[in-house]
Amino acid sequence: MSTAAPLRVIQISDLHLKSQSGTRLWGVDVDVSLNAVLECIQNRHPQPDFLLMTGDLVGDDPDAYHRVREMLKPLGIPAYCLPGNHDFPAVMSRTLRGDVIGRKQHFVVGNWQFVLLDSSFPGTPDGHLGYAELALLDTILALRPDLHTVVCLHHNPVPSRTSWLDTMMVSNHAALFAVLDNYPQVRAVVWGHIHAEFADVRNSVHLLAAPATSVQFKPGAPGPQVDDVPPGYRWFEFHADGTLRTSVERIKPVNA
């Protein structure tokens, strides 16, 4: 592992904010839980290099993007987002631009590049990667074989081991991996959507999901079921030699 300082990144996902505070999702106050997660980040992982937000920033409410920006301001770091199935990609791009948070498709930091794909599909909660998204990914990877790469999206591209959620996974996941398998510089694929942590490895590529900042779904349940673990986030250390470290942190339970 390189002795140079690693790139430190935080991933949050599935905020499901509404335009009014106090909204509950499956019994969880999404504002309270997000603020608790952000406070946890500030206490345990202060001043990361940037934040990755892997979709469902809002809960079917296009007027809530202004609140997303305001709630992230106290972190004082750049944040890059992509849309999920409860988001509005055009409104997201138009509203989240500038100083605090922005929708990005590709950016480079040091020896690492990040490709943020849109796996949302209008009118359905299901995941799908259109031709333009796959072509963008292929082009970026072909042009920069020298950069370690993290591919980000919202929907899970592999089974999450939770059957009802897997009915909404990326429908053309085979096409995604057909691209990725051509490029050995890909180090990780990360996503949200499943409201739970997930970690696996495929062909030396890390496959990773972050828990939601809102409600948690119980892994392995046959239908939607709230898990009793608290909300959280995933942290990363990306090293110059292409190695990475990662784990999940969760807030303290309310009754702790």
Identify the pLDDT of residue 86: 97
DSSP 170: B
DSSP 216-245: -BPTT-SS--B-SSPPEEEEEEE-TTS-EE
Residue 153: strand, helix, or coil = coil
Average pLDDT of the residues in 224-252: 97
Please, are residues 185 and 128 in contact by the beta-carbon 8 Å criterion? no
Higher pLDDT, 1 or 243: 243
Looking at the predicted structure, is the pLDDT value of residue 98 above 80? no
Say which CATH topology domain 7-250 has. Answer: Purple Acid Phosphatase; chain A, domain 2 (3.60.21)
Mean pLDDT over residues 203-228, rounded? Answer: 96
* β-pair partners for 115: 106, 151
Q: Which range among 43-47, 102-106, 169-173, 252-256 shows the weakest confidence by mean pLDDT?
A: 252-256
Distance CA 201, CA 109 (A): 24
Q: In what order do the strands lie in the sheet with 50-54?
A: 101-103, 79-82, 50-54, 7-12, 232-238, 244-250
The model's pLDDT over 153-178, given as tens digits with 9 standing for 90+, comes to 999 999 998 999 999 999 999 999 99
Give the pTM: 0.96
Per-residue model confidence (pLDDT) at position 252 = 87
The mean per-residue pLDDT over the stretch 195-210 comes to: 98
Provide, rounded to the nearest whole percent, the portion of the chain with pLDDT above 90: 91
Residue 255 in this model has a pLDDT that exceeds 50:
no
